Amino acid sequence: MEQAESADGPPVEVLRTVFDVQETRTDGRRLVYYGESLVPEQMLVREVWPAFRQAGYEVQAQTTGFGGTDIVVAEPISTGIDGFPWKNLALFVATIVSTLFVGAVGWYYVPFSDLTANPLLALQAWPFTAAVLGVLSVHELGHYLMGKYHGVNVSLPYLIPFIFPFGTLGAIIRMRGQMPNRKALFDIGVAGPLAGLAATIVVTVIGLSLEPLTVPAWAFSSSSDVIVFNNPPLLDAIAAALGQPTEYPDPRTVVHPVVIGGWVGMFFTVLNLLPVGQLDGGHMVRAMLGERQESLAAAVPLFLFGIAGYLYYVRGLSINESVGLWFFWGLLSTFIAYNGPADPVDETPLGPGRIAVGLFTFALGAACFLLVPIQVIPA
């Protein structure tokens, strides 16, 4: 690595107040300062972060604590899109295709043989695709826009194609770099659920206003298992407010598939608001409670395992009646708890306004929760 003049980088005079700079080198775009820290690592970052941030740099520190060489790394902040987002676009197109085909076969009852003979028949499912991808994309764009507002480096959404029942596993964004403070962490975390729920309510209203579908005789008489998606309280409340049914006397009549887009939005909201790891709920509770979030996160797997046990041993339900679902998420939450939420540089507590918004968001999430959201019933 080449020797670099400190004047070419961030405000070294601020760094010198807490760090004895002995050597400065370049490492690609980064500036690496070697020396000895005069304060603990967390305090060092907190002290120099505002000046480095104002100068357009992220700053990270590694201290040995044993008299060895300590390191401070300064890297230019990048909040834009690096090049054309080919991966995001490819996944978006793949998810459109997967939701069209799954929607056509599973929700519009297009025979698979007809679909293979003429793939364009999948276009009949475009309202289903628009509904499902709409609520997921709006959710992730809420995170993205709030991240940009706070100057945090966030990626565009990555949609994930899948197979039945929805044609997708959801969408994610990546947060890179440091989280400035608890306010930014909370705002980015809460923006997704609130935006996604707003889109979910709109999609549900539209779906309930559309004409129901009639299940064709060949599909109704099929000997395959039936998957039942039970209504969460929020969906029932919207239907009651509109005076629209979600079930019909004739079992061959079902709600329009766009309603399933609303169901998906509610279901994914519940999962995202689990207060653990990198999930939205984990970020929100970390911002609201600070490091006490770890205690709450540790209880989440036990809570989910408890639901699975209650359904199995008390309610007598089978693995296919949401017992397996909650057991799986209990296992998953156990693993993701080890990769906790982002740690903000500034630990200043949130004000009462944001705390109220957080509690309101969790209350909306509770309105989407159902003990038995999915049941697979043998034909």
CATH number of the CATH domain containing 56: 3.30.1360
Query: How many CB atoms lie under 10 A from the CB of residue 253?
Result: 14
Identify whether the C-beta of residue 145 lies closer than 8 Å to the C-beta of residue 125: no
Q: How many CB atoms lie within 10 A of CB 360?
A: 12
Is residue 40 located within the same domain as residue 156?
no
Please identify, among 20, 55, 74, the residue that sits at the C-terminal boundary of a domain. Answer: 74
Residue 119 lies in a domain: yes
Integer-rounded Cα radius of gyration of the chain: 25
Q: What pLDDT is attached to residue 46?
A: 80
| Residue 2 maps to a domain | no
In the structure, what pLDDT confidence band is assigned to residue 81 with cuts at 50, 70 and 90?
Answer: low
pLDDT at 196 over 70: yes
Rounded to whole angstroms, the Cα distance separating 237 from 367 reads 9
Q: What is the DSSP string of 140-191?
A: HHHHHHHHHHTT-EEPPPEEEE--TTTSEEEEE--EES-EEEHHHHHHHHHH
Q: Do 35 and 164 fall into the same domain?
A: no
Q: What's the average model confidence in pLDDT over 122-149?
A: 94
Which stretch, 38-47, 196-205, 224-233, has highest mean pLDDT?
Answer: 196-205
Structural domain boundaries enclosing 21:
10-74
Closest CA to 101 of 162, 53, 148: 162
Q: Which of 168-172, 286-290, 310-314 has the highest mean pLDDT?
A: 310-314
- According to DSSP, the residues that pair with 70 across neighbouring strands are 35
Number of domains in the chain: 2
Q: Are residues 143 and 255 in the same domain?
A: yes
Domain assignment of residue 5, yes or no:
no
The C-alpha atoms of residue 71 and residue 374 are separated, in whole angstroms, by: 52
Is 3 part of any domain?
A: no
* pLDDT given at position 221: 67
Single residue among 21, 55, 74 that ends a domain in this structure: 74
Domain C-terminal end among 74, 105, 126: 74
- Residue 2 backbone phi and psi in degrees, to 5: -90, 150
Residue with tokens 């999930």: 279
- Does 56 lie in the same domain as 88? no
What is the arithmetic mean of pLDDT over 197-206? 97
pLDDT at residue 294 in the model: 84
Residue 4 lies in a domain: no
Are 136 and 63 in a shared domain? no
Q: Is residue 1 part of a domain?
A: no
| Per-range mean pLDDT, top range of 71-75, 90-94, 223-227 | 90-94
Please check whether residues 92 and 167 belong to one and the same domain: yes
* 3-state secondary structure (DSSP) of residue 110: coil
63 & 126 share domain: no
Q: Same structural domain for residues 128 and 160?
A: yes
Best mean pLDDT range from 17-21, 36-40, 365-369: 365-369
Q: How many CB atoms lie within 10 A of CB 241?
A: 10
Q: What pLDDT is stored for residue 7 in this prediction?
A: 45
Note whether 232 and 297 are same-domain residues: yes
Cα 368 to Cα 118: distance, rounded to the nearest angstrom: 38
In this structure, are 273 and 159 located in the same domain?
Answer: yes
In a domain, 193, yes or no: yes
Average pLDDT value for residue range 169-181: 83
pLDDT score of 78: 67
Instruction: Let me know whether 285 and 177 are in one domain.
Output: yes
Which residues lie below 8 Å from residue 186, measured CB to CB, with a gap of 6+? 283, 284, 287, 288, 350, 354, 358
Q: Report which of residues 84 and 351 the model is more confident about.
A: 351
One domain for residues 210 and 262: yes
Q: Residue 158 CA to chain centroid, in angstroms? A: 11
Q: In 293-328, which positions are buried (b, 16+ CB within 10 angstroms) versus exposed (e)?
A: bbebbeebbeebbebbeebbeeeebeeebbbbbbbe
